[in-house]
Amino acid sequence: MGVDLCAYHARIGTFSACSAPKIFRHVQSQLKLTAISALCPRPSLLLALTCLTLLLLCAGDVEANPGPRNEDVVTLIKECHDETTKSLNDIKQHLNALKTRVAAIEKTLNSVAKFKDNFDAVAESVNEVKSNISKTSGQLVEVVDDMNNRMRRNNLIIKGLPEGDHKGYLETEQIVRDLFTDHLKITAGDIERAHRFGQRRPGFHRPIIVKFLNFKSKIDALRNSYKLKNLETPKVWLEEDFSPSVQFARKKLGDFAKSNRTDNARFSVRFNKLHLQGKVYQLDLASGSVVQASSDPERSAK
């Protein structure tokens, strides 16, 4: 029995339109024709080639699906190259701009560093000047305070002396001259001037400042001041005239002595020094506290 080639070719032509499982079933049915294949080998070879072609088509063979043409690939590669080149040029421009900015920043930083060095040098000089000014100011304050106390060297202050209705300093001078002559044995000629100071207040007797012609008369008045206790008037006493800083120090020293003495020990405040129980104290102006004075004889004598 022969093979109908037209029908065979018609069947082969239908392979491309059928699905893969149907193709395999058709191939399997054709392989059963072993007798026919033995008698007519060419159709079997054609069938094998057809099956191989179908299998390659099902497997996605590159020859059956070669992809884009070479011209298209070259065009695509060129476009990618051009785009990449453009991107690289843009990046290069950005890098150049960034380098320019970095260079400007470095220049600014160098200027700032130089300015900082100059500022540090100026700050050091300013601190040195401030230290010198502070030191000089302290020395000037001491000098001015010393001059102030020297100007008050011949002065005494009378406190507690009743203030009458008189307002002139001449009447006050006469009262002081009579007081010193009658009770302190000081001649009237030793008194240069006397007047009250401070604001008037009801029930308050303003103190009187007395300036002597010489320091010796002032010392004599102080030594005889105990005689004022015998006056019939209320308590009257004498005080030395000091600068405000010395008055503040004397007050602090007096308070310190009253709170630190034992068994009501006696103490004395001489100028700006406190003598208490064999020790000498002074006020530390920097800390505002009372400290023991230096053993330096020159400083202790001041």
Per-position pLDDT tens, the chain of length 302: 454 545 544 544 444 444 445 555 555 555 554 444 444 556 667 777 777 777 766 655 445 555 566 777 788 888 888 889 999 999 999 999 999 999 999 988 888 888 888 888 888 899 999 999 989 998 999 999 999 999 999 999 999 888 877 667 888 999 999 999 998 888 988 999 999 998 888 888 899 999 999 999 999 999 999 888 877 777 899 999 999 999 999 999 999 999 988 888 889 999 899 999 889 999 998 788 999 987 654 444 44
CA dihedral 156, 158, 159, 162 (to 10 degrees): -160
* Rounded Cα gap, residues 51 and 15, in angstroms: 9
pTM of this prediction?
A: 0.56
Residue 188 tokens read as 């009237």
Question: What is the pLDDT at residue 132?
Answer: 93
Return the HEC string of 15-29. HHHCCHHHHHHHHHH
Q: Check: CB of residue 271 under 8 Å from CB of residue 246.
A: yes
Question: What is the pLDDT at residue 207?
Answer: 94
In a 13 Å sphere around the CA of 166, the CA atoms on its Cβ side amount to 12
- Name residue, tokens 């476009």: 79
Question: What is the pLDDT at residue 60?
Answer: 55
* Rounded Cα gap, residues 59 and 51, in angstroms: 12
In a 13 Å sphere around the CA of 129, the CA atoms on its Cβ side amount to 6
Encode 150-180: b = buried (16+ Cβ within 10 Å), e = exposed: eebebbbbbeebeeeeeeeeeebbebbbebb
Find all residues with CB under 8 Å of 8, minimum gap 6, and list them: 43, 46
Question: What is the pLDDT at residue 300?
Answer: 45
Residue 212 tokens read as 């002597």
